[in-house]
Amino acid sequence: MTVMGRTGRKGGTGWMGETGSSGSVVASMFAAIVAIAAAACGHQPPAPTLASAQFRGANVLLVTIDTLRRDRLGAYGSTAGLTPTIDRLAASGLVYSHAYSHVPMTLPAHTSILTGRLPASHGVHNNTVFRLADDVPTLATVMKAAGYRTGAFVGAFVLDARFGLNRGFDDYDDRYPHTSDTATFRFDERRGSEVAQAAGDWILEQGSALRAQRGSKDQGSAAVYGTVASLPWFAWVHLFDPHAPYDAPAEYRAGRTPYDAEVAYADAMIGRLIDRLRAAHALDRTLIVITADHGESLGEHGEMTHGLFAYDATIAVPLIVAGPSVPAGRIDAPVGHDDIMPTILDLTAIAPPAGIDGRSLVSQPPADRDILFEALDANLTRGWAPLTGIVSGPWKYIDLPIRELYNVNADPREVTNLAERDAAHRDPLARALAQFAARPPGRGSPSGLDAEAAARLRTLGYAGGAALPRKDAYTPADDPKTLVGLNEGFNNALEAFSAGRPQEALSGFSAILRERPDFLTARTSAATVLINAGRPADAIALLRAAPAAQARSAALLAKLGTALEEAGDLRGAAGAFESARAEGDQNPDLLNALGVVYARLGRQGDARTMFNEMLRRDPGAAGTWYNLGLLELAASRRGAAAEAFTHAVSADPSHGEAWQGLGAALVDTDRRAAIDAWRRAERLLPRDYDLLFNLAMVLAEGDRPADALPYLERFARDAPRDRYARDLPRVNAAIATITKASR
């Protein structure tokens, strides 16, 4: 396809010859004249290049920053000074001026980064419906097979191991704080400081272990540590901070918008990690790749966040390659996320797997290369028209009922739709897109989500539930551009719920359903509000009032199961969850939910089967280990219970209920370990008076009864009198006995 109109754009978003400022027209014209003259004289400088095997056996650090707009980086024209760390790396390495995400959502974008495949090939199209198929090779599986240590450190639940990106990693660190506060769902992410700390610890830990062994007489152990420490490492570090809601630490907020403050904070955390590694000489032989999964609309085209549209605000991303021997310069040819995996493998002299769509950037791609993209979340979860598109040079075509065509050189904000007046550019792009769409689809596994997991994603701005069947035809009434107001109303209702305003959220969802009864995720979200308000019967009625075409929706059935369980109809809940599975909801969380219901019905064997299947898919699921521990404890299998609770607290040390369960499992066989577990639980659950009573009484009956006194006194002072009327005399008697003995 021929590239036309390749003139520079303002503001660091141009196709060729980007400038750092939109105001220096004369300077830009002068630079262009000089470049033309140099080319005419045969003195045009060659494009900087990489070389195959340039980083053979080297370490690899892949950094992905969630929701980072390209125009916020100094390397791409910003003068705000938000990203000094990334800008320094860019100044010494290669900057790809025209890199694109294939989908403006976190999970599918990262899946393309880590598999080298387009969404149509790897089969993951949004954050809630799919998980990566078990047989698709990833960058981690390939590098692990080549002898690398592999570690991942992710900042948000949307990249949880259950979605399939954990394969091939020795350590997939998706550890988030445990909380029972499902009304606000504030346990989705962790700050960049925690992610950077965990990543640095892992990268440097083998060297530390080796140093610790140097004085040892056990030469065999030292040799083993030396072998492990000498292995090259591949670390993927994901920072979620620029994602909404924006809540940077206070020291980054002054004089900045909330979004820009998060960008500045994320850059600072990358700087902290880079400085730490450089000081330890861990970067002396390390390839560094930095990108974003997607950007953020920030109000452009009526969209505040991302996922609905695919304008450059959300699919144009930074891509920087740095490290020893990487030449400094800019590459203006178009590249995509699917190019990252083959490029890293080429540079490290590792053969790529079959089936990838991307190409190694060691060989510069042609300037007229096509880049494909999609934004299918609204289609998959709401039944709106599917959005797909293609970029070729400065031209972007978006296939929707209301077609769109933009020359992003002349119109960088994509406000002038040329689709109905420029068939010469529109039709070749439409044909190329149609030819690609005819390819067989990928094999991403259907995922679905249970109520808790879907709610976690909803508070991030994503709809939940399994995919809806596609319509035979879509009209302008189904076009996301027509429905953007409903999209923002939906997001506002989600935010109201997360901010503790459930009635406002319910009113918002109800207004959406009056206008568009088939907006399934508004219906299931309204049901979530009702369930959390203690109104499961109303939630059941709302779900059963869905249009007949949605009656067998896996998303609706899964939510109905949750509502029925809350209403006490356990048999109905089991039936709804089973139906959701039959309709294609295969997410491991549904197994966990079904296991809980089976356990409550006394179907212990079925419950154990569900929990074990969930753990086979996600071995780090602390909540499921906890549920399995409760099941084993109820069956008087205390050894098995202790083992399950131990797994739970290992996966999530902040899971207070699991520490409490571990103490209960151990109290008859290892009282000292039980006391330690209960003390940990008490610090995490200070208002659990059953726990406080058990800990106090076990200590009082031990060989150091004085240790019980603080716990006994707090119980006597704070425990609710009506609930603990029978226990308070015993506690007071123990206090008197211990006090008397200590005189």
pLDDT at 186 over 60: no
* pLDDT tens per residue, range 59-91: 999 999 999 999 999 999 999 999 999 999 999
What 3-state DSSP class applies to 610?
A: helix
Cβ atoms 192, 241 nearer than 8 A: yes
Question: In the predicted model, what is the mean pLDDT of residues 529-550?
Answer: 96
Q: What is the structure's pLDDT at 433?
A: 95
For all residues of the chain together, what is the average pLDDT? 86
SS (H, E, C) 83-118: CHHHHHHHHCCEEEEEEECCCCCHHHHHHHHHHCCC
CATH class for the region spanning 59-365: alpha beta
CA nearest neighbour of 238 among 269, 284, 202, 203 = 269
Taking 90 as the threshold, does the pLDDT of residue 684 lie above it? yes
Domain boundaries, the chain: 59-365
184 versus 352: the higher-pLDDT residue is 352
Q: Which amino acid does the sequence have at 458? A: R
Q: What is the Cα–Cα distance from 407 to 405, expressed in whole angstroms?
A: 7
How confident is the model at residue 476, as a pLDDT?
A: 97
3-state SS class at 407: strand
User: pLDDT band for position 591 (50/70/90)?
Assistant: confident
- pLDDT tops 50 at residue 184: no
Mean pLDDT over 485-506 rounds to 93
> What's the pLDDT at 743?
74
- CA 615-462-259 angle, 5° bins: 115
More confident residue, 52 or 189: 52
**Which of 300, 316, 318 is CA-nearest to residue 308?**
300
Query: Which band of pLDDT confidence, cut at 50, 70 and 90, is reported for residue 44?
Result: low
Q: Is the pLDDT of residue 211 over 90?
A: no
Greatest distance between any 2 Cα atoms in the chain: 101
When mean pLDDT is compared across 40-54, 314-328, 661-675, the lowest value belongs to: 40-54
24 pLDDT band, cuts 50/70/90, is very low
What average pLDDT does range 336-341 have in this prediction?
Answer: 98
Quickly list H helices, 10-91: 25-40, 84-91
* pLDDT band at residue 157 using 50, 70 and 90 as cut-offs: confident
677 contact partners, CB below 8 Å, separation of at least 6: 645, 649, 659, 660, 662, 663, 666
Listed as own residue / partner, the contacts of 86-89 with beta carbons closer than 8 Å and 24 or more positions apart are 86/267, 86/270, 86/290, 86/318, 86/320, 89/274, 89/288, 89/290, 89/320, 89/322
Please give the Cα distance from 602 to 607 (Å, whole number): 9
What's the pLDDT score for residue 442? 54
Q: Tell me: the pLDDT tens digits for 97-145?
A: 999 999 999 999 999 999 999 999 999 999 877 889 999 999 999 999 9
What pairing do the DSSP bridges indicate for beta strands 171-173 and 387-392?
unpaired
Residue 450 in this model has a pLDDT that exceeds 80 = no
Which residue from 3, 70, 129, 83 is spatially nearest to 447, judged by alpha carbons? Answer: 129
| H or E, element range at 423 | helix 423-437
Rounded to the nearest 10°, the torsion over CA 507, 508, 512, 517 is: -50
Residue 691 has pLDDT above 60, yes or no: yes
Ranking 171-185, 506-520, 686-700 by mean pLDDT, the lowest is 171-185
Higher pLDDT, 605 or 614: 605
pLDDT at 693: 96
Beta partners for residue 288, in sequence order: 61, 322
What's the pLDDT band for 45 if we cut at 50, 70, 90?
low
> How far is residue 436 from each of residues 284, 370, 394, 467, measured CA to CA in Å?
42, 11, 20, 22
Helix axes 656-666, 622-634, angle to 10 degrees: 30
Structure tokens at 250: 């206070």
User: Quick check: bond before 258 cis, omega within 30?
Assistant: no
pLDDT score of 21: 36
Checking if the pLDDT of 214 tops 90, the result is no
Tokens encoding 288: 């560094």
pTM here is 0.80
Tell me the DSSP string of 567-582: TT-HHHHHHHHHHHHH
Return the half-sphere exposure (C-beta side, CA atoms, 13 A cut-off) of residue 127: 29
Q: With CA atoms as reference, report the closest residue to 383 among 545, 588, 494, 523.
A: 523
Q: What is the pLDDT of residue 467?
A: 52
pLDDT of amino acid 206: 59
Strand order of the β-sheet with 395-399 is: 370-375, 387-392, 395-399, 404-407
